[in-house]
Structure 1
């Protein structure tokens, strides 16, 4: 409400926030645990978060955005 976004804008912003782990998780793991396998953190980020966002997340974010904006 502070940014005066539409329902679609809030949904898109929430989806982008939820997708930040695709980039942040592997980089954070590389810095925190240098001996860790980077493929595992990337695989976990893409294998868990991406399907969740596609199957459940976008619809959930849209419903929450409708409640927040209306």
Structure 2
């Protein structure tokens, strides 16, 4: 999906990962170049469940 600004794209990505994590009881964080929802505890502890990355119009990853 295209957004007018990097900030709007980042805000949308954060909202998606936050909602996903809360619905599924996962942890979530900004890793600097991506947003990640991850499992907490059990045999999958720390494994990513959803990753969202934001790219600029040149296809380069945006710093979040």
Higher helix share: 1
TM-score by length of 1: 0.40
Q: Which protein has the larger Cα radius of gyration, Structure 1 or Structure 2?
A: 1
Higher strand share: 2
Which structure has the higher relative contact order (CA within 8 Å, separation 6+)?
Answer: 1
